[in-house]
Structure 1
Amino acid sequence: MTTAKNTAILEGVRIIDLTSVVFGPLATQMLGDLGADVIKVEAPEGDLLRQVQPSNNKLMGAAFLGANRNKRSVVLDLKERTGQDQLRKLLKDADVMISSIRPAALARLSLDPETLRRAYPDLITVSATGFGQDGPYAAKPAFDDIVQSVSGFASLATLRDPDAAPAYAPTILADKLGGVTAAYAVMSALFHRQRTGEAQHVEVPMFETLTAFLLAEHMDAATFEDTPQSFGYSRMLVPHRRPVQTTDGYITILPYTNVQWTRFFQVVDRNDMVEHPWVTDMDTRSRNIGAVYDMVAQIALTRSTEEWLTLMEQADIPAMPVRNLSDLPSDPHLAATGFFQQIDHPTEGTIWTTRPPIHFSATPARHDHCPAPRLGEHSKEILGPDEE
């Protein structure tokens, strides 16, 4: 018997998911982890991410498996009247429809927020877009690299070194941040509806989302200027802000407060630095942070990584070794928390996955309830045998 203690947070919430690749699917996976019934609506050719290698079987790529658990897949051809009618039947019982289809295309299908609000007044509609729809970029296509470029993220390296070339982060940062943002936006809209009875339309644009995220600290001195120009948080941009080399590897050593910097120089026998303004005054240290980091880099070469970890733990100074991704499955902390899990997928065999990182004492998120579905796996179950 289900009780309040073990009922998933979003149990009973139905989400119709018209998204693809990573931005939208990551959001709906997070909501599915929290118990929502996510119905992933796919075109006959399937989500493009299904084709991304590696894979064991066609249309079941590893990246797709990583962003689509706890969903059911139904194939609908929205270019055809039958598919459109089937979707509208699904929307009758839905709480949320989230889409990454361009708004103009949704309007041509009569699936725009205004039309849907008239037909389904309790339906929350969510648009996962590249750009906000009230600006000149509204109709432009957007992928992660595009948004990293136009947001200023790709040029951060040039703030550190004017001769450096712009570069993308080696992860789909805009997509994933957009997904996290969309997930909390859906939760907020559901909470608003529960409190007031009012459904609403929510727009989550990748460009504005990444730009706001980036400028949390990099607005910097531009905050106070009549015409914002002086962007860039200097502590993040000094060349010496990087892992430091030890005798046998790399480590991050990060004293932060005046007390921690004092202890650091004491334990490395540099008592001449204990009363230095770089140590005793945070403002002076901030203005000279590159030189301070350079000093740490030189000192780091005198010990092994393990010696540094022991010494910093004794001094209660933040420090961690630099890991490779391949090191993570054997990381003792991740092992103890059960972060990596092997689950049995009905078609892909035993696969590795990660657990949701958030812990709820009464309503734990699920990670293995429903592995990522095959294309159209649940069409008959959802649409019925006569409409598949």
Structure 2
Amino acid sequence: MSGTPPATGPLAGIRVLDLTAVVLGPLATQTLGDWGAEVIKVETLAGDLLRNSGLFRNRGMASVFLGANRNKRSVALDLKTPEGAEVLRRLIPTADVLVTNIRPAGMARLGFGPEHCRALNPRMVFAVATGFGQDGPHRARPAFDEIIQAASGLADIVGEEDGRPRFVPSLVADKITGMALVQAVLAALLHRERTGEAQLVEVPMLETLTAFVAVEHQGGHGFDPPIGEPGYKRLRHRKPVATKDGWMTLLPYTAAHWRAFFTAAGRPELIEQLSVDDPVKRNAQIDQVYAAVAEIAPGRSTAEWLALCEELDIPATAFSTVGDIAEHPHLRAVEMFQPMQHPTEGQLRMAKPPTRFAATPASIRRPPPRLGEHTDEVLAELGYTAEEIAAMAGRRAIRRG
């Protein structure tokens, strides 16, 4: 894309080959791109499955794809053809990182397993996101978000009150693992910077989400033998509360918060009755504590509670809908959603990179690419002539945008 602003993020100068699809991998590589890395998205001739997920103005440029693929160039290759594979073999020596969520056996069949890539570029970090760790019996199984929500115990926690498992209606397993993948890539790059040694990095979805859930939900099972039930009772009782005119979240947290809340609510007797000054005793009867909040909340409007909680420095908020989140006063003030003009999709609205780097700011430099939009450009950089590129397209080894 002509006129692309220069990268200003801390990863400027790092080149990433993105052989990922759907949400987990693309979100990770988008973050690396937001932080300054040059990302080349290597797609099949049919393109990333995510291209047709969600609403769209044009096929192949659906809303979910747009949300996870900015700051990338798209090259479409048939890696099962000798010519398509040769393009990737020429790209690998130019890269600092290769990120993939193709199953390891599939990468090996294509001739691009870790050992093959290391022979082409010993300094390249090879990062793979898997469904299940490759040292376990489920290593060859396919995995998607709901599979991992179910297997990790997360669906059990979410549905606990109903007595049946329920999925979080967001791709949390994909997105959490994607964040872990970013961290792993950065750690491997830091190790390479210090030692000159690149390495294989594996980030398995099930293990990542299990560790995520276990932080608070191990409960009594964090001891051996167990000293109580698993789970975190406090979270089961944190619910939206009805006010005089709507709903909100009231979350007194410390003893000082609880004391101030019950005093301001005109119920000071609850301070002693619910033992709010003793965190151990308070947590032992947390169901009664939150029941008292639910009983008290309808006495005032949401706005009245918010004003009081701000005065007392008690955590509280009204609820936002997905449709009106852009109008949240704080998010509007920090310009969280930024306009971008796309050459084929028109005006887009994108959530900006949330992480702030004081000296090396993240940025949105490129809109999400059309399938194969940059095939000619990248191949020309590798030394292919216009005639060679046209001939490869005719033989369907590549796809041009």
The one-letter code matched in structure 2 to 1:120 is: N
The 8 Å contact of residues 246 and 304 in structure 1, kept in 2 or not, is answered as yes
| Counterpart-to-counterpart distance in 1, 2:45 and 2:139 | 27
The one-letter code matched in structure 1 to 2:284 is: R
Please list every run of 5 or more consecutive structure 1 residues that lacks an aligned counterpart in the other structure.
1-5
Aligned-residue offset at 1:230? 2.8
The 8 Å contact of residues 267 and 315 in structure 1, kept in 2 or not, is answered as no
Deviations 1:324-347 (A, max 9, x none): 112211111001101011110111
Deviations 1:335-370 (A, max 9, x none): 110101111011101011111111111111112x10
The 8 Å contact of residues 148 and 174 in structure 1, kept in 2 or not, is answered as yes
Equivalent pairs counted in the alignment come to 378
Aligned-residue offset at 1:118? 2.5
1:70-219 to structure 2, matched below 5 A, reads 70-159=71-160, 161=161, 164-219=163-218
The 8 Å contact of residues 158 and 168 in structure 2, kept in 1 or not, is answered as no
| Counterpart-to-counterpart distance in 2, 1:137 and 1:68 | 29
The 8 Å contact of residues 19 and 98 in structure 2, kept in 1 or not, is answered as yes
Give 2:395's aligned residue.
none
User: Is 175-184 or 221-230 further displaced after alignment?
Assistant: 221-230
Structure 1 stretches of at least 4 aligned residues deviating more than 3 Å after TM superposition:
none
Q: Secondary structure at the match of 1:313?
A: helix
271, 275, 278: which one aligns with 2:275: 278
Q: Secondary structure at the match of 2:299?
A: coil
Q: Secondary structure at the match of 1:270?
A: coil
The one-letter code matched in structure 1 to 2:193 is: Q
Q: Would you say 1:371 and 2:370 are equivalent positions?
A: no
Please list every run of 5 or more consecutive structure 2 residues that lacks an aligned counterpart in the other structure.
1-6, 381-385, 390-397
The 8 Å contact of residues 74 and 382 in structure 1, kept in 2 or not, is answered as yes
Give 1:3's aligned residue.
none
Gap change, CA 1:227 and 1:265, over 3 Å in 2:
closer
| Counterpart-to-counterpart distance in 2, 1:177 and 1:195 | 27
Aligned-residue offset at 1:274? 2.8
Q: Secondary structure at the match of 1:275?
A: helix
Q: Secondary structure at the match of 1:375?
A: coil
Q: Secondary structure at the match of 1:15?
A: strand
Q: Secondary structure at the match of 1:278?
A: coil
Aligned-residue offset at 1:227? 5.9
Q: Secondary structure at the match of 1:92?
A: helix
Give 2:287's aligned residue.
290
| Counterpart-to-counterpart distance in 2, 1:326 and 1:31 | 28
Task: Give RMSD over aligned pairs.
Answer: 1.4
The 8 Å contact of residues 155 and 167 in structure 1, kept in 2 or not, is answered as yes
Gap change, CA 1:157 and 1:173, over 3 Å in 2:
closer
| Counterpart-to-counterpart distance in 1, 2:164 and 2:219 | 22
The one-letter code matched in structure 2 to 1:272 is: E
The 8 Å contact of residues 129 and 206 in structure 1, kept in 2 or not, is answered as yes
Give 2:253's aligned residue.
256
| Counterpart-to-counterpart distance in 2, 1:208 and 1:198 | 26
Deviations 1:161-207 (A, max 9, x none): 3x522100010000001111111111111111011000000001111
The 8 Å contact of residues 356 and 365 in structure 1, kept in 2 or not, is answered as yes
TM-score by structure 2 length?
A: 0.92
The one-letter code matched in structure 1 to 2:327 is: S
Q: Would you say 1:67 and 2:79 are equivalent positions?
A: no
Q: Secondary structure at the match of 1:341?
A: strand
Aligned-residue offset at 1:313? 1.2
1:11-50 to structure 2, matched below 5 A, reads 11-50=12-51
| Counterpart-to-counterpart distance in 2, 1:266 and 1:185 | 48
Deviations 1:51-104 (A, max 9, x none): 113000110001100000000000110111111111010001111111111101
Deviations 1:124-144 (A, max 9, x none): 101111111000110000000
Give 1:10's aligned residue.
11
The one-letter code matched in structure 2 to 1:289 is: I
Give 2:394's aligned residue.
none
The one-letter code matched in structure 2 to 1:141 is: P
The one-letter code matched in structure 1 to 2:141 is: K
| Counterpart-to-counterpart distance in 2, 1:228 and 1:379 | 59
User: Is 241-250 or 7-16 further displaced after alignment?
Assistant: 7-16
Give 1:353's aligned residue.
350
The one-letter code matched in structure 2 to 1:9 is: P
The one-letter code matched in structure 2 to 1:176 is: K
Q: Secondary structure at the match of 2:40?
A: strand
